[in-house]
Structures are given as C-alpha cells and as structure tokens.
Amino acid sequence: MSNPLLRYGVVGNPISHSMSPQLHQQFAQQIGITIVYSKYCPSRLGFNRVLNDFFQTGGKGLNVTAPFKLDALNYADLITDRAKDSNSVNTLVYTLEGILGDSTDGIGFLRDLYAKQKQHSIDFQNKRAVLLGAGGVARCIAQSLLLDGFEVYLINRTQSKAEQLAKDLSHLGTIELYEFSTPREAIAVDLIVNSVSFNADKFLTQIHFAESAVAYDLNYGDKAGQFLEAAKPHTNHQFHGLGMLIEQGAESFGLWTGKYPDTSTIKL
C-alpha cells in the first residue's frame, strides 16, 4: 500500500516571493520523502476558511508568514511556550489532539547565529544585544536571546511598544530600553540585530560596540544591504537573514516529520 501524500504549504499575503517551496522540497529530498508544498494567499477574512479546508482535506502542516502570525496564534488549538512568549505562530502542525501552533523564528535565528559564531570564531564576551524594532519578529528574537543568556536593549520608533515588549518578556531575563543618555562606554554591545526595514542605520553611531561586534540584519538580499554596509565601520562581522530563513524552516520541517535536515547543504 502506498504512503498517503504528505501535503504542506505556506500561507501569507503577499506570498509569490516566498522561497519556502524550494526550501522544503530540498529538505524532503534530503531525507528521502515526497511532499507537495503549496502557497496560499487568503484575504484576512478568508484565513480561517483556507486553513480549515487545508487541514480537513488531509494537510499536515503550514508555515505562516506576514500578516497572519497573530491569526495563526488564535487559530491553533494548542500553543507552545515559545509561541506564547513570542505572541506569534509561524508553524502549524496537524496532531491527533488538534492543531499545534509554534514559533520557530527565534530558534532559527539562534541556530544561524551559532553556526556563524563557530565559523568565524566569534566570542560574545558581554552577551549584550541591541535589538532594533519591537514588532512581531523582534519579539521572537528577544525571547530567544534572553533564553540564551543575553541582556537585550531595545530601540524602537514607538517607545511605548518597546516598553510593552520589555514588560512582557521581563520574566526571561534583563530586557530594557536602550538609554542614549547613559555614557556610551558603560554598555559595550557585542551584537546588534535589525528587525526593521528602513532607517535602522541612523542608530549605529550612538551605540558603543565591543571589539569583534556583530551586526545581523533579519532582512536578506537587497533589503539588508544598506544597514550592513553602514555597520561595517562599527562591527567586525555583518550577516543577513537568509540563514535564519533556512534554519526556521528546518525547525518547522522537523516538527512536521520528526526528521531534522542538514541545513549546511541547502541552496537558495
């Protein structure tokens, strides 16, 4: 008897640019299974209907991207702790107990950061990070950094949003707003993470960086260029977010199949 077809997909709006189908087909090929991986682009109002149809007809798992990560949190029957802390779901998994919602963005970011740290022999002596932005993905990054023992300092255009994020995650460790009035030498930062799409580079001159500091832009391709170029005089290493995309996808794939692919061979 042949195996039932394993159906997965990604849901977002817009979604045509997504590289997830190529990514997950490489994962499937690597572990020797055949999958169907499709793109879904519902309206806000059509989100639940599209997901109901997917899971009721045998779909096994979905990646979720903007603007639906909060909708996915509300849709799921079961929520992991990291999805609760992140207030975000980017992975839905069909289980016998119901639809499980998880967030793999934070662990995907950390895994890529670890890989680059090892590759370039980087030592985060102070374990202090500045995070630019306080949106959904920033929350995932802040949560993962805190769990890894970093102090996290937030810079965001809307201060009240950053204050709320700091309050929500304070149970995980030291997270507070970056104080520009503090003498810059008082806080040597060895990691700056950009989660916003423009104007992030204007803060670089106002931050005191440790030696061998790292700049990491969650954007990739042309979107990451301006910030990383501006970071070069201030930091020793500059990385974009394509590795995070691959690692968060691998974590999703592992949740669906129980098999974690080797990300070092993936080409996008």
In this structure, which long-range contacts are made by residues 157-163, counting pairs with CB atoms below 8 Å and at least 24 apart in sequence? 157/196, 158/134, 161/134, 161/135, 162/134
Q: Report how far residue 202's alpha carbon sits from residue 230's, in angstroms, rounded to the nearest whole number.
A: 9
Confidence of residue 1 (pLDDT cuts 50, 70, 90): very low
Catalytic residue among 69, 118, 127, 202: 69
* In CATH, 6-103+245-265 is 3.40.50.10860: yes
Q: Count CB neighbours of 130 within 10 A.
A: 25
Percent over 70 (pLDDT), the chain: 97
As a whole number of angstroms, the distance between CA 161 and CA 145 comes to: 19
Please check if 241 is assigned to a binding site: yes
20 is in an annotated binding site: yes
CB atoms within 10 A of CB 223: 15
Whether the pLDDT of residue 180 is over 90: the answer is no
Q: Where are the chain's structural domains? A: 6-103+245-265, 123-235
Integer Cα distance of 256 and 133 in angstroms: 30
Average pLDDT over residues 76-80: 98
184 pLDDT band (50/70/90 cuts)? low
Q: Which tens digit of pLDDT belongs to each residue from 89-130?
A: 999 999 999 999 999 999 999 999 999 999 999 999 899 999
Task: Please indicate whether the domains covering 6-103+245-265 and 123-235 agree at the CATH topology level.
Answer: yes
Strand bridging mode 128-132 / 175-177: unpaired
Is 133 annotated as a binding-site member? yes
Tokens of 45: 């109002």
DSSP assignment letter at 263? G
Is 58 flagged in the annotation as binding? Answer: no
Q: Is the pLDDT of residue 80 over 70?
A: yes
- CATH homologous superfamily of domain 123-235? NAD(P)-binding Rossmann-like Domain (3.40.50.720)
Q: Say yes or no to pLDDT of 70 above 60.
A: yes
Q: Model confidence over 233-255: pLDDT tens digits?
A: 999 999 999 999 999 999 999 99
| Catalytic residue list contains 267 | no
User: Is the per-residue pLDDT at 183 higher than 80?
Assistant: no
| Whole-angstrom distance, CA of residue 28 vs CA of residue 35 | 7
Token pair for residue 152?
């996290």
**How do residues 196-212 score in pLDDT, each as one tens digit?**
977 888 999 989 999 89
Those residues with Cβ within 8 angstroms of residue 224's Cβ, 6 or more apart along the chain or in another chain:
217, 240, 241
